[in-house]
Amino acid sequence: MGVAVMNFLVFGASQVGTPGPANMALMATGARFGLRAALPFVAGVALGKQIIIWPIGYGLMGVAARYPWAFTALKWASLTYICWLAWKVANLRLAPGVQADTAPGFLAGLAVHPLNPKAWAMIVTGFTNFVTPGTGTLQATATIAICLLSLQIILHPIWTFAGDRIARTVAGTPAERYLMWTLAALTVASVLVVLFGGESA
């Protein structure tokens, strides 16, 4: 009994490391404010996933079976939030090294994953596909939590740094507008695939 840790790490890396609402927000924040200023936001995003891992591990999905309307409401609330986030990304204009306003902080980062359908799908898939039946709840949940946090500590700063580097290349050029709209479109598309594409992650 236990968790197929190596298999789950490969799966988790494929999810944490690919485009989605969290990574687009991280890239946009890095692009606008630079890596150093974005670090509190990065920490909030990484720890925010823990807010949903533990309730799911301790039976939250059972609530979905009894009260499906609650998760339907969550789905639409998530989609609304992600569309709002994408709109903000689309209208950002890059100014690396110029602090015209304040970078989003730790608390703003905490909210990203609880309202990210990709994160919910990833975690549910982890529990349903990589945990051996009969494994203790604490063991399974702690293993999933540690694996994902470890991947986020590595991969989230990379996305943020990529945004910083890209901004230094395209800020103030005609490509800037197209870049930000592309990031926004990828944000929305990644959520639509999860919510309506019948994919598990």
Give residue-wise pLDDT tens across range 17-45.
887 788 888 988 888 888 999 999 999 99
Average pLDDT over the chain reads: 81
Q: What pLDDT digit, counting tens, does each position of 154-196 carry?
A: 999 999 998 888 877 877 788 777 877 887 787 777 667 666 6
Please indicate, yes or no, if residue 85 is contained in any of the structural domains: yes
Say whether pLDDT at 129 is over 60: yes
The boundaries of the domain holding residue 23 are: 5-196
Q: pLDDT-derived band of residue 201, with 50, 70 and 90 as boundaries? A: very low
CA distance 42 to 154: 11
Which whole number is the average pLDDT over 93-120?
77
Please indicate, yes or no, if residue 23 is contained in any of the structural domains: yes
E strand or H helix at 21, and its extent?
Answer: helix 21-33
Q: Which residues on adjacent β-strands are paired with residue 131?
A: 3
pLDDT at position 14, please?
Answer: 86
Say whether pLDDT at 152 is over 60: yes
Q: pLDDT-derived band of residue 200, with 50, 70 and 90 as boundaries? A: very low
pLDDT at position 94, please?
Answer: 62
Instruction: Report how many domains make up the chain.
Output: 1
Please indicate, yes or no, if residue 201 is contained in any of the structural domains: no
Please indicate, yes or no, if residue 183 is contained in any of the structural domains: yes
Of 33, 17, 18, 20, nearest in space to 184 by CA = 20
Phi, psi dihedrals of residue 3, rounded to the nearest 5°: -120, 135
Q: Which residues contact 102 (CB under 8 A, 6 or more apart)?
A: none
Q: What pLDDT digit, counting tens, does each position of 29-86 carry?
A: 888 888 999 999 999 999 999 999 999 888 876 665 677 776 677 667 767 777 777 7
